[in-house]
Structure 1
Amino acid sequence: MTQNADTSQYTKGAFGSNLAAHFHLKESEQVSTAWPVNNLFAITRLQSDAGLPDRTTPVPREAALLISVSILPVPLRTYELWIDGKAVDVGKAIGAPYIPSFHTQFFDLQSDPCCWTGTGFDYVHYHVPRAGLDEIAKDHGIKPVGSYRFAQGEHDIVLAQLTQYVLPLIGSRDWTNSLALDQFSLIFGAHVLKTYAGVPPLGVTKRGGLAPWQGRRATEMVRENLDGGVRLSDLARECGLSVSHFTRAFRKSFGVSPYRWLLERRIDYAKALLLTSDLPIANIALQSGFSDQSTFTRAFGRIVGDSPSRWKRSVSSRA
């Protein structure tokens, strides 16, 4: 299991190795971020070629949701589900003999969910603290949500797309405790509130951008932490704002999200190193805050539209 040291204090909850143990598995992949400070938003991928030898063991009740997206179809002839000790007819709920790939199952971790599957599976599980959702709602003037809609095998196209996006990043050092995962968790949380709690869309706001001093301080902190060590909560606290308010105000002021702004500054620094040094690309990647050369090359291509080496040759030939 991959877990950043900053989140190692969180040892309880249905995520990572804890969740794997409930599924009788020894291995898992995880990325996680504090959400809010005393809770953990975590994404765990669990895979098995053989299915489960027995039903999952009881998951301790907690004030959190577990939202599961199956990467592979799940045949219902070898799948059983219990909620609060009562069997659930999943086939009746979805009207099909299997749960299609990238469909969603939504559980309240206070309702003792338990399952068994006799065939191989590949699931991405989102551990979503209610406290984090309540914080997002509060920032939009909405009271904490009391109950969420129970869903089985739902075709939630937004969660399917988010899962496809995050799938190759689970277990990545670049994502655990990062601005990117912070931003992802806010998008995810807003969608959950809208789709499963009936909260009105949260995107509309009359608030403006950051004050000049807030913009200077935020960008200063990001520049000082090109390795991604700064968190959205750190930036928001420094500006005296909630995380979601800060994120919207930053985008209004700079036209991009905080994470995108960080990536652009990393690429600017990498460009300077490419033009003024003979360092190997791998070294430039590390000095620019990326975990490895391939991650750097992909980010460089997305932002610049070319590979680092071709960009360097092109600029040098015009000098």
Structure 2
Amino acid sequence: MAQSAPFGQRLGKILHLKDAPPTLTTRSLRSLELAVTETRNDDPEPGLSGSLTAEDAFLVSLKLHDYPDCELWERGKSLMKADVRAGATYLYDLKHDPRYVIDKPFHSLFFYLPRSALDSVAEQPGTTRVDQLDCQLGMGHDDEVIRHIGASLLQGLRRPDETNQLFVDHMMIALTAHVAQTYGGLRRISKLPRGGLPAWQVKRACEKLESDLGGTFSLQLVAAELGFSVSHFSRAFRTSTGLPPHQWLLRRRIDTAKQLMRVRDLPLSEIAIAAGFANQSHFTRVFSTMVGVSPGAWRRGAQGAPD
């Protein structure tokens, strides 16, 4: 069912936030919207949260702040109280109208996963369909994978101009598959082929990725160029190159920047944009992390090296 507003805006409204919270979205599974949103209010006005539209979809929430004695509601009734712990993962079925009493500061990440996205993951060869997620009210899960994905996406939410779409696609698809397997009983009934792409397909995929160093292309678009599903393409590309598409693109950005610093006397700010980075600060941070020295220091060393 079509929604009248983006997920982050709707979630912000039911949590009584003054502004729409930061949100990242992907449409790389059946062109469905998957989203992650950071919600925070250090001084909330007490009251019951609102309701999201009842639909066949789930919320997966990574709590970033303790919330003791949380009063939980479903289907219009107060059912229990539970201590919510920072670092724990909770699952909610939107068909059950999950709500809670807002009376303390809160800080969480919410992942929006429509049922159709879980079905799409289960349509891969050799897998079974997800029947139902383990959405036990008040039950927190110690999930290291979701904490890792959440921490990675939290940086993207806070620096949206520096976050490329391939990275968001990769992380959200990985989260969907993990949730389906861990909480939905998804299992493989046969081994998937693990071969990589033929050389001509690797070349074509790399050319497509390199034509958009800024990373605005989606995984779905790149996979469609070769006639593959997103999951098959990502797996085969990684087998062939040793890297998932978003990391391959990041390496290519660094290589492009090095070439520009070797052969052209350009300001670092212009090199940053030409190599697909959001700005010089973004370029410096990523380059220093991956190469071990700042771009300026690397350039001085390269220019001083003998031909």
TM-score (norm 2): 0.91
In the comparison of the two structures, how many residue pairs are matched?
Answer: 301
Give the aligned partner of residue 142 of structure 1.
127
Given that residues 44 and 126 in structure 1 are in contact (C-alpha distance below 8 angstroms), is that contact kept between their aligned partners in structure 2? yes
User: Among residues 61, 74, 81, which one is paired with 1:68 in the alignment?
Assistant: 61
The structure-2 alpha-carbon separation of the partners of 1:141 and 1:158, relative to structure 1 and needing over 3 Å to count, comes to same
SS at match of 1:154: coil
> How many angstroms apart in 2 are the aligned matches of 1:205 and 1:299?
35
* Paired residue secondary structure (2:91): strand
Q: In the alignment, which residue of structure 2 is the partner of 1:7? A: none
2:79: which partner in 1?
Answer: 88
Shift of 1:301: 2.4
1:37 is displaced (CA, Å) by 4.3
Question: SS at 2:44's partner residue?
Answer: coil
Q: CA deviation at 1:141?
A: 2.9
Which ranges in structure 2 are unaligned for 5 or more consecutive residues?
A: none
Give the drift of 1:11: 5.2
Q: Which residue of the other structure, out of 234, 237, 251, is the alignment partner of 2:238?
A: 251
Q: 1:221 to 1:295 in 2, by over 3 A?
A: same
Give how far 1:272 is off.
1.3
1:48 maps to 2:41: yes
Counterparts in 2 of 1:100-111, with a 5 A limit?
100-111=85-96
- Counterpart CA distance in 2 for 1:202 and 1:149 is 21
SS across alignment from 1:316: helix
SS of structure 1 residue aligned to 2:62: strand
Corresponding residue for residue 273 of structure 1: 260
**Partner residue in 2 for 1:26:** 18
5+ residue gaps, structure 1: 1-9, 92-97
Match of 1:59 among 31, 52, 57: 52
Q: 1:50 touches 1:119 (CA, 8 Å); kept in 2?
A: yes
- 1:16 counterpart SS class: helix
Counterpart position of 1:5: none
Q: 2:239 and 2:24 mapped to 1: Cα distance?
A: 28
User: Percent same amino acid at aligned positions?
Assistant: 34
For 1:175, which of 163, 177, 183 is the aligned residue? 163
2:107: which partner in 1? 122
What is the TM-score when the length of structure 1 is the normalising length?
A: 0.88
In structure 2, relative to structure 1, the CA distance for the partners of 1:311 and 1:284 (3 Å cut) is same
1:89 shift after superposition? 2.4
CA-to-partner distance for each residue in 1:38-63, whole Å, 9 max, x for gaps?
42111111111123432111210122
Further displaced range: 292-301 or 123-132: 292-301
| Contact 1:35 1:129 survives alignment (8 Å) | no
Letter in 2 for 1:222: L
Contact 1:136/1:190 (8 A) holds in 2? yes
- 1:192 maps to 179
Q: Work out the CA distance in 2 between the residues paired with 1:292 and 1:200.
A: 43
Post-superposition offset of 1:233: 0.6
Distance 1:184 1:195 in 2: 16
Q: Write out per-residue CA displacement over residues 204-234 of structure 1, whole angstroms, 9 at most, x where no aligned residue.
A: 6323111222212111101111111221111
